[in-house]
Amino acid sequence: MVKAASYARYSDESQREESIEAQEKAIQEYADKNGYVIVQKYADHHITGRRDDRPQLQKLLKDAAAGLFDTVLIHKIDRFGRNKIQIALNRYALQQLGIKLIPVAEYFGDGPHAVIMESVMEGLAEFYSLNLAQETMKGLLINADKCRYNGGRVLYGYKVNEEQKYELNLEEAEIVKEIFERVADGWAYGAIIRDLNARGIKRRGRLWGKNSIHEMLKNERYTGVYLFNRVPKTVNNKRNSRIKKPDDEIIRIEGGMPQIVERELFLRVQEIMEKRKHEPHSRVKKRLYLLTGLVECGECGAAYIGDSASRSKKEYLYYRCSGGQRRGGCSNKRVQKNELEQIVIDRIVGMIREIDPVAFAEEYNAYLLEQAATKSEAVVELEAELKDLKKKVDNLLDVVEDGGAVVRARLRKYSARISEIESAIERAERAARANRVTPEQVKAIINRLDPLGAKSDNELKEKIRGVISKIIIYPGKTEIISSLEMGKYV
């Protein structure tokens, strides 16, 4: 008995295609008649044969290399693939392992005529696939001429109505416009992403990332241009967005979709993106450690510094205790850069979001009144001097009636000093009254402190330093000490 594996595939491209069960039944009958024992079964459901990255097919090839079976049984050659090159490469990979591929419904033996027939069947499989694709494309092109939805994921910012036409998704469209405007205003991609994710705004249920922002900003459809057939598909039936089809093959209809972004704004953003792409220090910016100088080790008291490590060609960024470099040094844990920075940002956002502008203004102004009631040491000294001078003036006035130039000169001197002191006391009281704040001013202060409003990483770094005075890393916890005290930022 020969150990064999079965492979079946079914896609939605034709209702005439056999089901997985029917294929496996035919394969089992062939195995029973010809002395094969099926030890492994593989099946890809609802996946086109034009794709070579089918999970079960790839698992079959991996298990074949492990020697789990000696033969692969399939129903027909088109179940193995729709592309002659793919079929030939995968068949060759099996042959190199000493494994035979047998399409049980199209098996012509091992002679020369079999090779010719197999080649014909492979060609027919590819012809069917290409012909189906062409027929499908005809219908898609008709839809495209009418600016209709042609399947796939609906572009963020839009929805599709019953007539298969694009309409605005008003909530999403506002986010699209906001992103374009922020980039035009100088916001960094990272700052936009942090803000959107912190606000709980998701894209198709997922958090925002740099790729999703970049794809959006490059998409001309947001200006109201309907586009179809712009990029080709690979042999795996995937679209390659880096390659563009010739202009005469692309359907491009101005005004074919509702406009979200003005053409002028779109072009301005393209210029900014192009400029950023060629910035010489872009790599350095990516490695900016926002918390440098703020992080301290709770074990040895040394500063935490930025560090990096590479594994499998991927770079990982950390903060680590500098005391670990000493002989017999600190063994306190290192922490992931992005994780610690996000914790700090979330803490700041949490603190400032808890501030009620009206309540804060009332509390702060009450504090000022209390402070004004408790006179400063300088004012107390001035008032003591003022009292003493006034007493001397009264004494001199009693003498001045008898005349005398010396007495009159001294009186003028005391009077001038009294005026200076009274002015100084008045200025101190006026300054105390002027420090009162309104709820609107408190809102402005909060916005100035909000890290989610930073337009660049450097600005974000400064905002963090405006609120956080120290971060202490202990083996079991992280302590964040805030300098956000009443009156400090007024």
* Residue owning tokens 């992403």: 193
DSSP assignment of 269-303, as one string? HHHHHHHHHT-TTHHHHHT--TTTTTEEETTT-PB
The CATH architecture assigned to 158-278 reads: Alpha-Beta Complex (3.90)
Q: Are strands 36-45 and 2-10 parallel, antiparallel or unpaired?
A: parallel
Which helix (H) or strand (E) segment is 177 a member of? Answer: helix 170-184
Q: What is the pLDDT along the chain (490 residues), one digit of tens a residue?
A: 789 999 998 875 443 445 788 889 889 999 999 899 999 999 988 777 667 678 899 999 999 988 899 999 998 877 887 666 567 667 777 887 889 888 887 665 554 444 444 544 444 444 555 454 555 555 556 767 778 887 778 899 999 888 888 999 999 999 999 999 999 988 888 889 988 988 889 887 888 888 889 889 999 999 998 887 665 554 344 444 545 656 666 778 888 889 999 999 999 999 998 888 766 544 434 568 889 888 999 888 888 988 888 787 788 899 998 887 665 678 888 899 999 999 999 988 888 887 788 887 787 677 666 656 555 556 677 778 888 888 887 777 766 655 566 677 777 787 888 888 887 777 766 665 556 677 887 777 778 778 888 888 888 888 888 788 889 999 888 888 876 543 333 3
Closest CA to 145 of 244, 228, 249, 222: 228
SS3 of residue 5 by DSSP = strand
Cα 162 to Cα 92, 166, 168, 228, 253: the distances in Å are: 49, 10, 14, 20, 21
SS3 of residue 409 by DSSP = helix
* Residue owning tokens 């002028």: 264
The answer to whether 47 and 85 are in contact (CB under 8 A) is: no
What are the strands of the beta sheet with 314-321, ordered from one edge?
304-311, 314-321, 335-336
Residue type, 147: C
Return the pLDDT at 72.
94
DSSP assignment of 72-129, as one string? EEESSHHHH-S-HHHHHHHHHHHHHTT-EEEETTS---SSHHHHHHHHHHHHHHHHHH
Centre a 10 Å sphere on the Cβ of residue 480 and count the other Cβ atoms it contains: 18
Centre a 10 Å sphere on the Cβ of residue 415 and count the other Cβ atoms it contains: 13
Return the pLDDT at 109.
52
**C-alpha gyration radius of the chain:** 39
Task: Retrieve residue 353's tokens.
Answer: 């979001």
- The matching CATH number, chosen from 3.40.190.290, 3.40.50.1390, 3.40.50.2020, 1.20.120.420, for 2-132 is 3.40.50.1390
Closest CA to 429 of 383, 386, 488, 387: 383
| Residues, the chain | 490
Q: Estimate to the nearest angstrom the gap between the alpha carbon of 348 and the chain centroid.
A: 19
**For 371, phi and psi rounded to 5 degrees?**
-65, -40
Q: How far apart are CA 206 and CA 200, in angstroms?
A: 10
pTM over 0.75: no
Residue 455, C-beta contacts closer than 8 angstroms, at least 6 positions apart: 182, 185, 186, 187, 188, 191
Which helix (H) or strand (E) segment is 385 a member of? Answer: helix 377-400
Q: Is 117 exposed, middle or buried (0-12, 13-18, 19+ CB in 10 A)?
A: middle
Sign of CA dihedral 84, 87, 90, 93: negative
Ranges of each domain in the chain: 2-132, 158-278, 378-439
Which helix (H) or strand (E) segment is 316 a member of? Answer: strand 314-321
Return the pLDDT at 179.
94
Residues linked to residue 265 through DSSP beta bridges, in sequence order:
none
The answer to whether 183 and 272 are in contact (CB under 8 A) is: yes
Return the pLDDT at 236.
41
Task: Retrieve residue 183's tokens.
Answer: 């980039």
Task: Retrieve residue 383's tokens.
Answer: 């008032």
Return the pLDDT at 489.
34
